[in-house]
Homo-oligomer: A and B are copies of this chain.
Amino acid sequence: MATIQDVAKAAGVSAMTVSNVINDHPHVRPATRQRVLEAMARLDYRVNVAARNLRKGRTGTIGLAVPEVNRPYYGRLAAALITAADRHGLRVSIEQTGARRENELAALSLSRNRLYDGLILATVGMGPADVGSLEVDHPVVILGERIFGGPVDHVAMPNVAAAAAATRHLIERGCRRIALLCGELRDEVDVSSLRHAGYRQALEAAGLPLDPELVLSVPSLTMDAAARRARALAADGPAFDGVFCVTDTVAMGALRGLADAGVRVPGQVKVIGFDNVDESAFLVPSLSTVDPDHDLMAERAVALLVARMGHEGRPAHQEEFVSTFSLVIRESTGR
């Protein structure tokens, strides 16, 4: 494969001039540029990215660590991030952490190998105790959960406010005994805990009692676990007339479980999710949900990372971006 030297020789110039042409430096005479371009085309020259990276100290690639690209929400996010990164001329390399803390920590040290110029990390397994691990010497943006005050930028959903809005919507539709279908409430900053907080706020504001029997934790936020739990609730749980599911994936499972139990949605029970994944609009019944504006979040996450990549030194303090949200009302809450 042709190198920059080969092109230089073929065009009768120095390697440096070829480099100048490639990088669009000013001060290259048009005639020379032309000759170089022709030589490049003739030899089918491609820049060797490894060499450029070595010299420039950057790789042009950012890392994205998510639990699994196959989960609808993370797939959506990954797609948006790849698109956003592309606008900055950056490629995205994906690590799957399986939502496990140790893999999330490993992703942090991978980019220290200079594999990536920066890392976007969707933390699920890490908790406040791991803040120290974020003290790394390369740009990191934490995505998707609320802040636990580390030394890095964050892009977060308005978890509490949006969860409260979703719950309030159920109340406005007449629900009085609203179940919460969530994951384990481990610490104060995971998705389930934050949305749980919003749920409580809304109940309180409406003067409704919080029945602990209606707070249903499933071991993992999967459709299967949610379906099981919903069936159990309908079979021998307390009475309920609404369910707020912490994710659309959980809601899909719940809808299935309720159908198995012969519960009519929205007739007997109303259901609302969170994420607005593509499938939600096409379920039967279609799923009401919270739309957190994924594209905006992706956009901001990449923008923050790029800003960090610019400065070598770490900016004075970290930025925090909380996305907007909107409620999408569909059949499952009785459109």
Report which of B46, B71, B93, B283 forms a contact with A113, defined as CB distance below 8 A: B46
Complex CA gap A160/B236 in Å reads 47
**Interchain nearest-CB distance for A291 vs B (Å):** 15
Chain-B contact segment, one of A31-39, A74-82, A150-158: A74-82
Query: In the bound complex, do residue A78 and residue B70 qualify as a contact, i.e. CB atoms below 8 Å apart?
Result: yes
**Interchain nearest-CB distance for A225 vs B (Å):** 11
Which A271-300 residues have a C-beta within 8 angstroms of B? 278-279, 281-284, 286
Chain B residues with CB under 8 Å of A227's CB are 282
Chain B residues with CB under 8 Å of A69's CB are 69, 75, 78-79, 82
**Interchain nearest-CB distance for A325 vs B (Å):** 19
Query: In the bound complex, do residue B223 and residue A252 qualify as a contact, i.e. CB atoms below 8 Å apart?
Result: no
Q: Known contacts being A82-B96, A91-B93, A94-B92, is A50 close to B53, with CB within 8 Å?
A: yes
A47 interface contact, C-beta 8 A: yes
Which A185-242 residues have a C-beta within 8 angstroms of B? 223-224, 227
Query: In the bound complex, do residue B70 and residue A79 qualify as a contact, i.e. CB atoms below 8 Å apart?
Result: yes
A316 interface contact, C-beta 8 A: no
Report which of B49, B57, B282 forms a contact with A253, defined as CB distance below 8 A: B282
Chain B residues with CB under 8 Å of A112's CB are 46
Chain B residues with CB under 8 Å of A11's CB are none
A123 interface contact, C-beta 8 A: no
A48 interface contact, C-beta 8 A: yes
Complex CA gap A75/B70 in Å reads 5
A72 interface contact, C-beta 8 A: yes
In the complex, what residue of chain B is closest to A67 when comparing beta carbons?
A: B79
The number of chain A residues with a CB under 8 A from chain B is: 51
A324 interface contact, C-beta 8 A: no
Query: In the bound complex, do residue A114 and residue B223 qualify as a contact, i.e. CB atoms below 8 Å apart?
Result: no
Complex CA gap A83/B95 in Å reads 9
**Interchain nearest-CB distance for A181 vs B (Å):** 14
A329 interface contact, C-beta 8 A: no
Report which of B61, B95, B278 forms a contact with A70, defined as CB distance below 8 A: B278
A137 interface contact, C-beta 8 A: yes
In the complex, what residue of chain B is closest to A110 when comparing beta carbons?
A: B91
Contact with B along A78-107 (1 / 0, CB 8 A): 110011001000011111100000000000
**Interchain nearest-CB distance for A151 vs B (Å):** 17
Query: In the bound complex, do residue B61 and residue A54 qualify as a contact, i.e. CB atoms below 8 Å apart?
Result: no
Chain B residues with CB under 8 Å of A113's CB are 46-49
Complex CA gap A24/B82 in Å reads 36
Contact with B along A239-270 (1 / 0, CB 8 A): 00000000000001101100100000000000
Report which of B57, B223, B282 forms a contact with A256, defined as CB distance below 8 A: B282
18 intermolecular pairs with C-beta atoms under 8 Å apart: A46-B109, A46-B112, A48-B54, A49-B113, A50-B59, A51-B54, A53-B54, A70-B76, A70-B78, A72-B279, A79-B96, A82-B94, A82-B96, A93-B94, A94-B94, A252-B282, A255-B282, A256-B286
Additional pairs, 4, CB under 8 Å, beyond known A69-B79, A79-B96: A49-B114, A70-B75, A93-B94, A252-B282
